[in-house]
Amino acid sequence: MRYAMAVDTKKCVGCSDCVVACQTENNVPIGYCRDWIVEVVDGTYPQLELELRSERCNHCDNAPCVRCCPTGASHILEGGFVMVTPEKCIGCGACITSCPYDARYPHPDGYVDKCTFCMHRVKKGQLPACVATCPTKCMYFGDLDDPASDVSLVLKTRKHKTLIPEAGTKPQLYFLI
């Protein structure tokens, strides 16, 4: 089992519904977010290209945050969920520093917080809150080991990329381009 997410940059309109859905679902403290929108403008006027990406933790296969955690609070669960156990986290910031995607933040309660791929929902057979909420249905989630899953099917047919694969993290958040 290997859960992954794909975001269609051609369909995303950057409305931030995914951000708000996540904040609501996961009780994210005010002023913080686990997912966010990135707008990249490329080219020279009038030949401009805009890419919109809903970004979050990449739930990397080779996660530097898990490697550098001194207490084992950061860990990977079956299915590839990169998680933090608040009762083990000392809030040293090593994982925050180690993430090339800046996907983690210090929760005001002291521990480090991040996207969980909404594991609590996935375990119940539901989609992550961001995916379920997206009004343009630009996000796909599922098991890469299941060839019939939404994410497997879309990655089979669409051209896609991951963010800075050269950082060696083996990210599992795909962007359809």
Partner 1 sequence: MNASIDPQLTIWAWEIPLYLFLGGLAAGILFFAGLYTILGKEKEFPSAIEKTPMVVPFLLVIGLLALFADLNHKMYFWRLYTTIRLESPMSWGAWVLMVVTPVSFIWAAIHLKKSFPKWKWPYVWLDTTEAFFITHKKILAWIMVIYSLILGIYTGILFSAFNARPLWNTSILGPLFLTSGLSTGAALNIIMAKSQHERHSFSKIDLMLIGIELFLIIHIFMGFLASTQVQIDAARLFLGGPYTAPFWILVVFFGMILPGILEFLELRNYKIPVLIPALLVIAGGLLFRFIWTFAGQASRWLY
Q: Is 3 exposed, middle or buried (0-12, 13-18, 19+ CB in 10 A)?
A: buried
Q: Site for partner 1 (CB under 8 A): which residue of 37, 61, 111, 146?
A: 111
Q: Does 115 bind partner 1 (CB under 8 A)?
A: no
Task: Specify the residue, 32 or 126, whose C-beta has the smaller distance to partner 1.
Answer: 32
Q: Does 37 bind partner 1 (CB under 8 A)?
A: no
Q: Is 137 exposed, middle or buried (0-12, 13-18, 19+ CB in 10 A)?
A: exposed
Q: Find the angle CA(121)-CA(126)-CA(129) to the nearest 5 degrees.
A: 65
CA atoms within 13 A on the CB side of 39: 7
Q: Does 68 bind partner 1 (CB under 8 A)?
A: yes
Shortest spacing between CB 55 and partner 1, in angstroms? 10
Task: Specify the residue, 152 or 169, whose C-beta has the smaller distance to partner 1.
Answer: 169
Q: Does 42 bind partner 1 (CB under 8 A)?
A: no
Task: Specify the residue, 11 or 88, whose C-beta has the smaller distance to partner 1.
Answer: 88
